[in-house]
Each structure stands twice: as structure tokens, then as C-alpha cells.
Amino acid sequence: MGVNAFPRPGARRFTGGLYRALAAATVSVVGVVTALTVTQPASAAASTLAEGAAQHNRYFGVAIAANRLNDSVYTNIANREFNSVTAENEMKIDATEPQQGRFDFTQADRIYNWARQNGKQVRGHTLAWHSQQPQWMQNLSGQALRQAMINHIQGVMSYYRGKIPIWDVVNEAFEDGNSGRRRDSNLQRTGNDWIEVAFRTARQADPSAKLCYNDYNIENWNAAKTQAVYNMVRDFKSRGVPIDCVGFQSHFNSGNPYNPNFRTTLQQFAALGVDVEVTELDIENAPAQTYASVIRDCLAVDRCTGITVWGVRDSDSWRSYQNPLLFDNNGNKKQAYYAVLDALNEGSDDGGGPSNPPVSPPPGGGSGQIRGVASNRCIDVPNGNTADGTQVQLYDCHSGSNQQWTYTSSGEFRIFGNKCLDAGGSSNGAVVQIYSCWGGANQKWELRADGTIVGVQSGLCLDAVGGGTGNGTRLQLYSCWGGNNQKWSYNA
């Protein structure tokens, strides 16, 4: 993470387009995080996909291949346009456990490190799948295979515990066609409960991670495969199986064309109590209107938390012959890109995205701790250091003054009387520190009803770096995406 320079208060200047106006406020709060609604001026239309999605509290991601990270055109586009990264192949089973019990994260770490160094979240993909299994796993069956699946999930998730906030736990477990049956895979033949076991294992391995089921050709609400997955998720939710989201790959083509009822599908799954995500989007020949329709479908569903396209340029696509992506072979923006950006900018002047009711801040004067939902640790000024620029951290909660924050009527979090919680920038990865209070928008925070704390200047969420939960984890600004590492309780 880059460290921003921090000019003295009198020298600070902020671009008008970065400000967010506070809305009217009416509701009081007792013992929970409160909410303020913000709006962005219409003149500040987003100029990148990530910025556009962030206006609606969503991420816009891309699949990245490690062997292309030396291509400057490729990485420049990926870095500029996207704020979430999925490893295209490098976190799959054959890549991470090529020999039984011997894990290799070399290529996975290349992608993870590049993403985090550039301020992007990482989606984990994928842990249990019938395809891309190493030969040793293909040779197993029965209980031996079941245990190998469990060991693999534990090994990978333990390695990335607290670092990767979202995982595709199970991938493509249902067969194509009209049967609605499970795929006849070696994993399925270990017993019909294998998917449930995979999710329960994943929750134990990393309790803070969002756990997803991911599949293709489940976008059409009327399809038998869609209904079969829906029934599985409904059953899991009714029995307490830990599933948090469903990923819709959205590989649209002549064999699986986009259907306008995709929005209905997203709504119906979300109504079960899971988030929904568009996880591998590409569309044959990249029709601009269809791309825009998919974006609008996601934006219309509060629990649709983000969109990932499956590659940067057409030449990088697994279906390069279909020219299905937003950038051509030379890295130029296609008409579909502009249609997507326009769709993301629609409605941005009213805040976009999932709405939270406007409420008033709690009355000033009281002080209390800000406790992380994922970590159950408190925002802490290390060693009680009062120097400007001291970065805050997560630490075991205690009664010390270096964890006592006063939320003022003007939206500041004050500590030690005259120091404020301060954003050292307005982009993803900006450090969060204490600084002498001076009234700037980078020292004002919205407390939202969903548990997030949002910077007024940036519109970004207060975030535990890398999804970390341990003592000493630093805090940063990051695009709001709904993870528990961005949720807090404040009791004053």
C-alpha cells in the first residue's frame, strides 16, 4: 500500500468533484452505528468502471492472469479501471495443490500481491470443482477424495485467512440441460452432501470470509438449472448451512443468450438472504446494449454487490474468437465500455446503490469504542501516540483513552480532545490516521445503518486492510463492498 504525504492543515486542498454533500438528517441512534445519506454532484460523473460502481457501493472487478502481469498495457488498464481482482486460474486446485498435501501459492501470490499493492480487493476462485483437478485428485474416489477436498479447502483458506474476503467455495456443481440434476462428477459420487461439507469446512477455515456458490447458465429464471440451484440455496439457508452469496458467471452467447428476466433471477436469489454477484461476465461480440442491461440489472438489486468481467482485452479472453470483452486487442475502449460506464453513471446524482435512511449523528459529548464486526477488535491509536500522522490499527478492546472516540455533531471522530480520525487521501488504499482537527471533509465520517463508516470527502469505506482481523491490522479507505471488515459498531 502506498503511503500518502500529509500536508499541514493550512496547505490541504481538495478537488470539488471528490466532495459528497451530506443529506438532511432526522433519526437518533442508541448503541448502534448511525447513517447519513450522501449525494454526488451530477457534474462529477465517474470516468472509470471502478469509480462508477463505487457510486453505487459496488465493486467492478476483472479476472487477471499472472503470466500477463509483465504486459504494461494490460496492467495499466486493469489498475485504472477495476477495484477487484479474481485470479483466472492461479487459485484453482491444480495450481495451488499440484501434489497431494504440498501447496504452491507462487502464482496465486503474484496476483494477490499485485492486487493489494494497487489497492484492490481479491476474490478467491475456486476451492471445490470437478474441473482442473490435479492428476492425483482425479485418481481418488470415495472417502479418500472427500477428505482430500476438505484438506484442500482448509489448506488454501488457512493460507489466505483474513486476506481474501470472498471465496467461490463450490463451482459448477449442476449439469447442463433441463434435468435440474447435480453434475455426475467424482465429487458428487462421494455423497450428495459434498457441497454442504465444503461450505461448512470453508466457514471453519475462515469465519470472516463471504462464501459463494458459483455457476454458469443460471441467469435465466425459467431454466431448470437455475431453479435447481435456487432450491439448493433455499434449503441451505433453511438449515443453517453457511452460504453467503451466489455468483452468476454470465457467459452470454448464442447458446446462452441474455434474457431480460436476469433481474428477476437476481431478485429471487437475494430474497433468500444471500448476496448476488456477476462473477465472470463476457458477452459474445460485446453488444453495448446487452452489457448495459446486465449492469442495470445488478444496480436494481440491493444485494447485487459487484460485477467482474472475465478478462481485460479481447485477446486475453478464454473466448478470444468471440471478442466478448470491453477492450479490444490493442486495449482500446469499445462501445460496450462506454455503455457500461453510462449505465454506472445513471442515477449517481442521488447516491445510487443500496439506500440507507438519512439519520442524524448522535449528539456530541459521549465517547466510546469503534469495534470491528469481523475482528471484534477496536480502532486503536498505537501506544497512545498523539503525533499527527499516527496510523490507527485494530487492537484488543480495553478501557484506555487511545480507544475512546467522540463522534461530534459535525461528523468528526475525536480522540485525545483535539485529534481527529483523518483520511490521508481520497482513493483506495489511503491510510487512516489521527491528525489535528481542522474541519476538513477528510476528517468527517458518515455512520450508516448497515454498519459501514464512510468518508465524506471520498465516499469510500473505513476498511481493515486485506480483511485482516489480528492485532496491529492497519485501516484504510476502500470501495464499499459489504464485507464484515468494513462494518463497525459504535457505542457512545
Q: Which residues are known to be catalytic?
A: 280
Compute the C-alpha angle 416/421/423, nearest 5°. 150
Collapse the DSSP code of 251 into the 3-class scheme (helix H, G, I; strand E, B; otherwise coil) and give the result. Answer: strand
Among 15, 101, 37, 125, smallest CA distance to 361 is for 37
Give the C-alpha separation, 87 to 105, whole Å: 12
Q: What is the DSSP letter of 183?
A: P
> Both ends of the chain: CA-CA distance in Å?
32
Give the C-alpha separation, 127 to 214, whole Å: 11
Using alpha carbons, list the distances in angstroms from residue 424 to 9, 58, 77, 453. Answer: 12, 22, 25, 16
Which residues partner with 59 through β-bridges? Answer: 306
Give the C-alpha separation, 15 to 37, whole Å: 20
Using alpha carbons, list the distances in angstroms from residue 420 to 9, 93, 166, 396. Answer: 12, 46, 32, 21
Among 271, 251, 171, 262, smallest CA distance to 212 is for 171
Strand 475-478 and strand 378-380: pairing? unpaired
